[in-house]
């Protein structure tokens, strides 16, 4: 048993390195865009705040870190959501022994997480020092929240893959849902900036909860009235269970 697990671990490690090397070799279009996309969002929010006078960070939070702490957890989750197409793709890598669609899902998301995790800290360190908000109040909670966002994303991708297999046009609806999640999950606002009567609706969104938990964990001057790490963990475990169950069930059927 342990020998089989070690072999599978080595397979995933090799696939992850392969993905990272592939992104580097296609730097102009792949790896570069992976880095530039969140930077474009940060720059856009900053310009909107400067020229339109809106999207100001609330009291207790500095402007640049406010956006960074909102953008990166959501990007980690939504990039994982793209995994919905991997279990049904006809990858040439599946021709190698011991390689399964699930291995490809894990390896793809491990490489993406590694890139965004490193990029997150490369941006956070100079910005937080510049804005005099270093160190964070609870570093461990921030690290765990980023991991939860990552797991939540690819787990939901596995759940969606069951519907994508017989209905490929679902891709269009996922694009709309992706945009909606970006705009409603706290990338450029927090709960205290919203009217009290809409708070109950936003608290159901686990991605919004993650951005609240991360900002609460970083700033001593901000205490989120709705942040619930327990709720985030519960949603992550539920999606992970559903995702793994769906993947296990779907692999029995031949690809269309």
Domain boundaries, given as residue ranges, for the chain: 2-250
Query: pLDDT, tens digit, for every residue of 184-239?
Result: 888 888 998 889 999 999 999 999 999 999 999 999 889 999 999 999 999 999 99
Helices (H), ranges, 53-192: 63-81, 101-130, 139-164, 170-184
User: Tell me, what's the pLDDT at 111?
Assistant: 86
Interval 48-89: pLDDT, tens: 555 545 555 677 788 888 888 988 899 889 888 888 888 777
pLDDT interval class at 24 (50, 70, 90): very low
Q: How many angstroms separate the CA atoms of 4 and 97, rounded? A: 13
pLDDT (0 to 100) of residue 82: 82
pLDDT at 38: 63
Q: For residue 127, what are its two tokens?
A: 């910005």
- Quickly state the pLDDT bin for 37 (edges 50, 70, 90): low
pLDDT (tens digit per residue) in 131-177: 899 989 999 999 999 999 999 999 999 888 888 877 777 888 888 88
Longest dimension (CA), the chain: 61
User: Position of tokens 């809409």?
Assistant: 198
Percent of the chain with pLDDT over 70: 80
Provide the angle, in degrees to the nearest 10, between the axes of the packed helices 63-81 and 206-218.
140
Question: Is the pLDDT reported for residue 29 higher than 70?
Answer: no
50 or 14: which leads in pLDDT: 14
Q: What is the mean pLDDT of residues 21-44?
A: 57
Please tell me the distance from the alpha carbon of residue 200 to that of residue 68, in angstroms, as a whole number: 25
- Tokens representing residue 168 in the block: 């490929």
Question: How far is 188 from 177, CA to CA, in rounded Å?
Answer: 18
Residues written for the chain = 256
- Supply the pLDDT for residue 27: 45
pLDDT reported for residue 18: 74
Are the beta carbons of 124 and 213 closer than 8 angstroms? no
> What is the pTM (predicted TM-score) of this model?
0.83
Tokens of 220: 């001593």
The pLDDT score that the predictor gives to residue 249 is: 78
Whether the predicted pLDDT of 107 surpasses 70: yes
């Amino acid at each position: 048993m342990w020998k089989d697990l070690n072999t599978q671990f080595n397979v995933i490690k090799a696939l992850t390195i392969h993905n990272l090397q592939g992104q580097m070799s296609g730097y102009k279009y792949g790896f570069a865009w992976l880095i530039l996309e969140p930077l474009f969002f940060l720059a856009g929010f900053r310009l909107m705040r400067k020229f339109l006078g809106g999207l100001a960070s609330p009291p207790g939070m500095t402007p640049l870190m406010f956006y960074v702490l909102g953008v990166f957890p959501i990007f980690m989750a939504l990039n994982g959501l793209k995994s919905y197409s991997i279990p049904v793709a006809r990858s040439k890598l599946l021709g190698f022994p011991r390689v399964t669609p699930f291995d490809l899902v894990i390896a793809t998301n491990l490489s993406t997480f590694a890139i965004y995790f490193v990029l997150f800290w490369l941006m956070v360190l100079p910005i937080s020092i510049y804005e005099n908000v270093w160190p964070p109040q609870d570093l461990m909670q921030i690290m765990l929240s980023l991991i939860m966002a990552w797991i939540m994303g690819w787990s939901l991708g596995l759940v969606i893959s069951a519907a994508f297999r017989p209905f490929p046009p679902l891709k269009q609806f996922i694009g709309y849902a992706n945009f909606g999640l970006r705009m409603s999950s706290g990338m450029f606002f927090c709960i205290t900036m919203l009217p009290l009567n809409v708070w109950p609706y936003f608290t159901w969104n686990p991605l919004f909860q993650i951005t609240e938990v991360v900002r609460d964990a970083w700033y001593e001057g901000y205490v989120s009235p709705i942040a619930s790490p327990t709720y985030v963990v519960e949603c992550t475990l539920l999606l992970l269970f559903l995702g793994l169950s769906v993947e296990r069930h779907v692999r029995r059927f031949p690809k269309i």
